[in-house]
Chain A
Amino acid sequence: MASHSPALHRLVGFGRYLRAVGLPVGTGRVLAFCRAAVALDPFDREDLRLAARATLVSRHEDLPVVDALFHRYFHDGAAAPDETFVGGAATPTAEPKTRVPTGEEPDGIVVAASWRGGGAEEELEGESAIRVVASDTEVLRRKDFADLTVDERRAALALVRRLAFAIPSRRSRRYRASPSGDRLDFRRTIRQSLRTEGEPFRRRWKARRTRPRPLVLILDVSGSMAPYSRPLVEFAHAAVRAGRKVEVFCFGTRLTRITRAVRSRHPGEALTSAGAAVTDWEGGTRIGESLKELLDGWASRSALRGSVVVLCSDGLERGDPELLARQMQRLARLAHRLVWVNPLKGSPRYEPLARGMAASLPFVDVFLPGHDLESLEALSAAVALA
């Protein structure tokens, strides 16, 4: 080993270089990297790069970062971290800021930076960019949809799309065979025992079946809800893809079923066309009448019975609040849980004083904001537990 010393130093240094940037490169990985170099001996730089990719990381996203830093460390001869650390003067993270952007940054960095959804990549370079990735997603998660820039909005929509959506379920009275069940399945056990001369050797188990609950999403697409409509439709898209018993309606002054359109690949286009049909921009929102339409038309088709209903609206009712209250009561009786999502609730100063909102609240089981990514995640969790 001693004969390899300077080269070994260089290899170990690369591991530390990656660690300084924030990649989780432990001693075991560095050891594997060095052993790989020995196994490949003699090797060229390309071999070494491939070995670094195979040994030092194990996430697809990290590969371009490794490539870029490999280039910088072994090709450009970036400062070995030992020197910078021992000196304590400059850390590798501080280095890129002093460099003039050359426009020749390896692709990897750009890939990492574009995670944030584009924009301003050129200001951020190298390692600093990689660190920003994580924190920026955090910021984005808590930023009101109405305040997003065009680029941020695109990134936010992509994140909503990826939201893991769990459909609520109810326990059925029926049983199914289940190896991890908690009740002995006598019938199957006895049947099985016939093979072993009546000795019930293998016990069979059963568990209660679960059935998906119907989920009904009702989206307000009136003018005042405009900044939130798009993410909510994307949210509905995630829900529709997750289960079969999901219905989506939207309303402004009238109600329209958009389940089919939302199920398509481009829910945004669906929204535009549906919005044109249901919105009378001058007329404002008629929540009560729209709900009546839903209850009169769809309640009989059992779409609502025992379902989890999510109503997304700011509650700025133009119609008769009495009518709204009556419809909310009807809806609450039919539904298993009634969730109201109001983006205005995202503001700490919000109080449900609007007449429509005040009239509806007594019938609402869960009242949530839906103004940013984080609150949509909370909504998804609330629906799953409903």
Chain B
Amino acid sequence: MSEREPPFESVGDLQRSLQGEAYLADRGLATAIYLALSLDKPLLLEGEAGVGKTEVAKALAAALDRRLIRLQCYEGIDASQALYEWNYPRQLLAIRAMPGPEAAGHVDDLFGPDFLVERPLLEAIRAGRGAVLLVDELDRADDEFEAFLLEVLSEFAVSIPELGRVAAEHPPAVIVTSNRTRELHDALKRRCLYHWIDHPTLEREVEIIGLRAPEASAALARQVAAAVARIRVMDVAKRPGVAESIDWAHALAFLDAPALNGETADATLGAVLKDHDDLEMARAAIVQVVGADG
């Protein structure tokens, strides 16, 4: 069924390659990525902020030795910012530079590749298998953009009226992330494989911190992971993700804190909690946060 050899031999192989890029993927995530690559389908990743959705694409691009092309979505993004645009000022200057009588013959040149500004999607289509396309935080864009993206993702081809059709010989690997501030449309979801990234288990988080903040001691990494896990079950408005755990370990290591205790935790809590109410609550319960070993 697959027209080519998948880039990885097995799910385990993929898992090891990602680990080589300092990304620890659990079996579920690795399977989802493996299938996305094998079936040439985009992978939709959802999960709370800071669980490492964007990092997946970065690590995957590095592991595959492909270029990462990132399309950051925002409210009001449209085709001219995502696909392509003509470089109008440059066209204008070219017209001015043309000698009058000959200008008419050169109009077609104005819509040549020199004047085309490639945006991420067109770049990804051209790069084909040489790229990993990351469509980041799609939930921020509006419905119209989602419909447009669906069209691009299903064909991997665009028609530029002046230049003709540009199609990818092989589709690039595509990772779509969403923070789930709104539900994406079913049509788009059907096109994608789906994976929900959860907060990691304690053991895995310790490993991740060890990998991403190697300057922190193993004991410190364990304390940080345990404390963050305790914060997550408290009634906080914004639950800290793995990114915050790593930041915290960095901060503590930078301050040469030998261990996480009430004092050092209090001084560095801002690395984990970014909401005033959350901070106040955690400060008041700092003993619980630090735990028995603090």
Contacts and interface: CB of A to CB of B under 8 A. Distances in A.
A and B bind: yes
A39 B39 contact: yes
Contact of A55 (B34, B46, B193, B196): B193
A60 B196 contact: yes
Contact of A179 (B76, B92, B193): B76
Interface stretch (A146-154, A197-205, A283-291, A306-314): A197-205
Given A53-B28, A55-B193, A63-B196, A36 B92 contact: no
A59 B194 CA distance: 8
Interface stretch (B60-68, B122-130, B184-192): B184-192
A283 B35 CA distance: 70
Contacts of A47: 11, 31
Nearest to A263: B277
B208 interface: no
Interface string B172-191: 00000000100100100110
B27 A46 contact: yes
A58 B35 contact: no
Interface stretch (A23-31, A115-123, A327-335, A363-371): A23-31
B215 to A, nearest CB: 34
A187 B186 CA distance: 43
A21 interface: no
B194 A53 contact: yes
A45 B36 CA distance: 19
Q: For the complex, would chain A's binding face be called helix, strand, loop or mixed by DSSP majority?
A: helix
Nearest to B46: A60
A179 B183 CA distance: 26
Nearest to B95: A199
Interface in B89-125: 89, 92-93, 96
A51 interface: yes
B199 interface: no
A40 B194 contact: no
B159 interface: no
A102 interface: no
A28 B190 contact: yes
A38 interface: yes
Contacts of B287: none
Contact of B194 (A28, A35, A58, A179): A58
Contacts of A179: 76
Interface string B195-234: 1100000000000000000000000000000000000000
B88 A29 contact: no
B190 A26 contact: yes
B92 A35 contact: no
A50 interface: yes
Contacts, number: 83
Interface in A242-267: 264-265
Contacts of B36: 54
Interface string B26-68: 0110011011101101011010000000000000000000000
A238 B247 CA distance: 32
Contacts of B196: 60, 63
Interface in A1-45: 24, 26, 28-29, 32, 35-36, 38-40
Size class of the contact patch on chain B: 35 or more
A196 B92 contact: yes
B35 A202 contact: no
Nearest to B281: A265
A265 B237 CA distance: 9
Interface centre among B2, B27, B39, B180 (most CB of A within 10 A): B39
A201 B183 CA distance: 38
Contact of A36 (B35, B183, B281): B35
A195 interface: yes
Contact of A54 (B88, B180, B193, B277): B193
Given A57-B194, A58-B192, A196-B89, A51 B1 contact: no
B76 A202 contact: no
A50 B34 CA distance: 11
B34 A40 contact: yes
A347 interface: no
A54 B194 contact: yes
B48 to A, nearest CB: 10
A264 B195 CA distance: 34
B235 interface: yes
A53 B89 contact: no
A38 B193 CA distance: 15
Contact of A201 (B28, B88, B193): B88
A39 B2 contact: yes
Contacts of B183: 59
Contacts of B39: 32, 35-36, 39
B20 interface: no
B193 A32 contact: yes
A180 interface: yes
Among all A-B residue pairs, the 4 with the closest Cβ atoms: A58-B194, A39-B38, A58-B189, A50-B31
Interface of B: 1-2, 6, 11, 27-28, 31-32, 34-36, 38-39, 41, 43-44, 46, 76, 88-89, 92-93, 96, 180, 183, 186, 189-190, 192-196, 235, 237, 277, 281
Interface of A: 24, 26, 28-29, 32, 35-36, 38-40, 46-47, 50-51, 53-55, 57-60, 63, 179-180, 195-197, 199, 201-202, 264-265
14 contacts: A29-B190, A36-B38, A36-B39, A38-B1, A39-B2, A40-B31, A54-B31, A58-B189, A58-B192, A59-B194, A60-B46, A196-B88, A197-B96, A264-B277
Given A35-B1, A40-B34, 11 more contacts: A26-B190, A39-B1, A40-B11, A46-B27, A50-B27, A53-B194, A54-B31, A54-B43, A54-B193, A58-B44, A180-B76
